[in-house]
Amino acid sequence: MFTLLTVKVFVERERTHTRVLIVKKPEVYLEPKARAQKIMALLEKEHADAEIALRYKNTLELLVATILSAQATDEQINALTPKLFQKYKTAEDYANADLAELEQDIKSSGFYRNKAKNLKNTGKLLVEKYNSRVPKTMEELVELPGVARKTANIVLFNAYGIIAGVAVDTHVRRLAQRLGLTENTNQDKIEKDLMNLVPKDKWMRITDLLIFHGRRVCDARKPRCDTCVLKKLCPSAFTFN
């Protein structure tokens, strides 16, 4: 895998001679796994409190909240789930829900029609195939409507302590690209790149760390490179207008 490199070139003109000064950032040139390890160490110091932000009390609530979080902020979801979880307590409740009513209950999450359909069908599948319980394997989870690898990874780790991969959300994707940890844009390929760079026991930790750094420092539009602990390691540092 190639790593993006940043080289700043300054030109000084002295009479008839031109001298080119190349200023390198040594950390950028570290071997990819060594860079990833150093990135994680710095982020661990900076965001020791990094953890899943969604609020839930059981595995079903975690699954529902994560499905709802697609194309929405955790704050949006945490604002609507207390009332939602009081009304829908079991897989049967979602399976038997009136679709139009469920749509209104989750409307503030965005894309609520599609999400409501997914929740209802997920409830049905949990009842019919899994005895109303949330399954414990990647293969079974991704069969549920509205569940892809990102959601499955979050549920497996936070509910069951199972590490099956890296949960790649919008923050993880953006930072992995900016930090030169991947050249891919596809979520599954980005996940594989990160899994190759980071030890298995750190797969979900890098998820939380990149998410927190993306929220607090590496904003999509205006990253705060001047205060970023990764600026010496980041090939994209100070390249934003």
How many C-beta neighbours within 10 Å does residue 134 have? 23
How many C-beta neighbours within 10 Å does residue 204 have? 23
DSSP string, 134-172: --SSHHHHTTSTT--HHHHHHHHHHHH----S----HHH
Question: Distance between CA atoms of 38 and 105, rounded to whole angstroms?
Answer: 44
Three-state SS for 170-196 is: HHHHHHHHHCCCCCCCCHHHHHHHHHH
Tell me, yes or no, if 150 is annotated catalytic: yes
Tell me, yes or no, if 105 is annotated catalytic: no
- Asked if 76 and 109 count as a contact pair (C-beta separation under 8 A), the reply is yes
Of 120, 150, 193, 202, which one is the catalytic site residue?
150
How many C-beta neighbours within 10 Å does residue 56 have? 19
Of 105, 120, 169, 208, which one is the catalytic site residue?
169
Q: How far apart are the first and last CA of the chain?
A: 28
Question: Distance between CA atoms of 227 and 120, rounded to whole angstroms?
Answer: 45
Q: Which residues of 151-188 are buried (b: 16+ CB within 10 A; e: fewer)?
A: bbbbbbbbbeeeebbbbbbebbbbbbbbbbbbebeebe
Active-site amino acid positions: 150, 169
